């Protein structure tokens, strides 16, 4: 029972030795971090966030200058610059595109695939998984709402049973609350082709996030990483998980203001959603780049309670791999002793 046996499908799909994906984090997952992840043998994902098309193109070029390994570009389908981002990745013919934020249209998946790009989509139920596969997705990510950033409503434990245990047509990577090699081993035994982590990689020395941002992660407990409140379903706000601070309260106030404007007919739903997304983009920048950990957004998964020290990125990946193999050995021994 070896790791290479269990995650072979993930290795072949991603084209890397270690199919552990560093999830794309806006303002954090830049060309530098992606290159460092590649150097460690894992798989990096460049965050398009709300970058301009020109800056995204430059980031792709910088990543390619820093590594010859494959990497993904993560596109947020509800971001204002999404359509431009899709055109950039198609023109650049990146290895993999990950559609996040919401579910892409079949035409958008086809646009990427025509450029020779592998497509990865998120799935929050078996029916959505089948729809994404039918629309052309080459792989899926199951992300439980324990994760940081934009999240769905369902925990990873349920998604494993609803989707991982039912769907085998494409490789499936799992995410949300993962921080240890021991858990990775069990997810692989369940059928996962690989895993995605985000919060743990923020705590790498190579990550350029502001020192105060990392310090806030070290202090935070798992229960303090909360999902953003939804004041009303009229706004269709996609929940975001972040460490609770004053910015969390201000987001609730923003929703109330937007909701009142909607009811008065002063803004459209699309404009309200745009303002919500711009709020999160700006708030995350204030925290991750500028170090404003009081009013900025401290996007983090509940695994922040396990991410309590800063390490070299290669050490983090190595630790995950060693601990995963040790856990497989422990399970094998336990089974053979019976």
In whole angstroms, give the CA distance from residue 182 to residue 273.
Answer: 39
Q: How far is Cα 183 from Cα 163, in angstroms, rounded to an integer?
A: 18
Q: Look at residue 44 and tell me whether its pLDDT is greater than 80.
A: yes
1, pLDDT greater than 70? no
Per-residue pLDDT reduced to its tens digit, 219-255: 999 999 999 877 777 777 778 899 999 988 888 888 8
Q: Is it the case that residue 131 has pLDDT exceeding 70?
A: yes
The pair of structure tokens assigned to 47 is: 């965050």
- For the chain, the farthest-separated pair of C-alpha atoms sits apart, in whole angstroms, at 69
- pLDDT of 247 reads 87
Q: Which residue has the tokens 């998984």?
A: 129
110 burial via Cβ count (<10 Å: 0-12, 13-18, 19+): middle
Distance (Å, whole) CA 322 – CA 180: 10
> Is pTM, for the whole model, over 0.85?
yes
Report the range out of 76-80, 151-155, 230-234, 306-310 with the highest average pLDDT.
306-310
Smallest CA-to-CA distance from 93 within 77, 72, 116 is with 116
pLDDT category at 153 given cuts 50, 70, 90 is confident
Please state the φ and ψ torsions of residue 225, each to the nearest 5 degrees.
-90, 100
Mean pLDDT of 205-228: 96
Summary mean pLDDT of the chain: 93
Spatial distance between the Cα atoms of 240 and 78, rounded to a whole number of angstroms: 13
Q: Residue 228 has what pLDDT? A: 85
Q: How confident is the model at residue 262 (pLDDT cuts 50, 70, 90)?
A: confident
Question: How far, in Å, CA of 31 to CA of 65, rounded?
Answer: 9
Residue 338 confidence (pLDDT): 66
Full set of structural domains in the chain with CATH = 3-208+307-336 (3.20.20.70), 211-302 (no CATH)
pLDDT of res. 279: 83
* Residue 270 neighbours by CB under 8 Å, 6+ apart: none
- Residue 38, classed as helix, strand or coil, is helix
CA-to-CA distance for 10 and 38, rounded, in angstroms? 15
CA atoms within 13 A on the CB side of 284: 22
CA gap 280, 296 in Å, rounded: 9
Q: What is the pLDDT of residues 269-307, one digit of tens each?
A: 888 888 887 887 788 899 999 999 999 999 999 999 999
């Amino acid at each position: 029972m070896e790791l290479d046996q269990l995650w072979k499908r993930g290795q072949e799909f991603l084209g890397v030795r270690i199919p552990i994906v560093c999830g794309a984090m806006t303002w954090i997952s830049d060309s530098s971090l992606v290159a460092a992840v590649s150097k460690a043998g894992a798989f990096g994902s460049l965050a398009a966030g709300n970058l301009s098309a020109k800056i995204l193109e430059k980031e792709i070029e910088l990543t390619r200058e820093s590594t010859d390994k494959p990497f993904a570009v993560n596109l947020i389908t509800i971001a204002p610059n999404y359509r431009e981002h899709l055109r950039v990745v198609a023109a650049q013919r990146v290895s993999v595109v990950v559609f996040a934020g919401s579910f892409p249209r079949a035409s958008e998946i086809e646009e990427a695939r025509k450029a020779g790009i592998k497509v990865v989509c998120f799935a929050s139920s078996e029916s959505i998984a089948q729809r994404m596969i039918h629309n052309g997705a080459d792989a899926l990510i199951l992300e439980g709402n324990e994760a940081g950033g934009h999240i769905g409503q369902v925990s990873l434990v349920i998604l494993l049973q609803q989707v991982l245990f039912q769907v085998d047509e494409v490789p499936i990577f799992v995410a949300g609350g993962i921080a240890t090699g021991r858990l990775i081993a069990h997810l692989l035994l369940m059928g996962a082709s690989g895993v995605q982590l985000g919060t743990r990689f923020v705590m790498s020395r190579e990550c350029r996030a502001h020192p105060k941002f990392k310090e806030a992660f070290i202090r935070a407990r798992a229960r303090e990483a909360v999902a953003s409140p939804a004041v009303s379903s009229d706004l269709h706000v996609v929940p975001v998980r972040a460490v609770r601070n004053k910015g969390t309260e201000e987001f609730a106030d923003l929703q109330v203001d937007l909701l009142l404007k909607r009811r008065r007919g002063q803004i459209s739903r699309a404009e309200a959603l745009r303002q919500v997304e711009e709020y999160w983009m700006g708030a995350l920048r204030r925290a991750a780049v500028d170090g404003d950990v009081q009013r900025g957004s401290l996007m983090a998964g509940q695994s922040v309670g396990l991410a309590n020290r800063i390490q070299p990125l290669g050490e983090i990946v190595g630790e995950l791999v060693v601990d995963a193999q040790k856990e497989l050995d422990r399970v094998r021994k336990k089974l053979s002793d019976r």
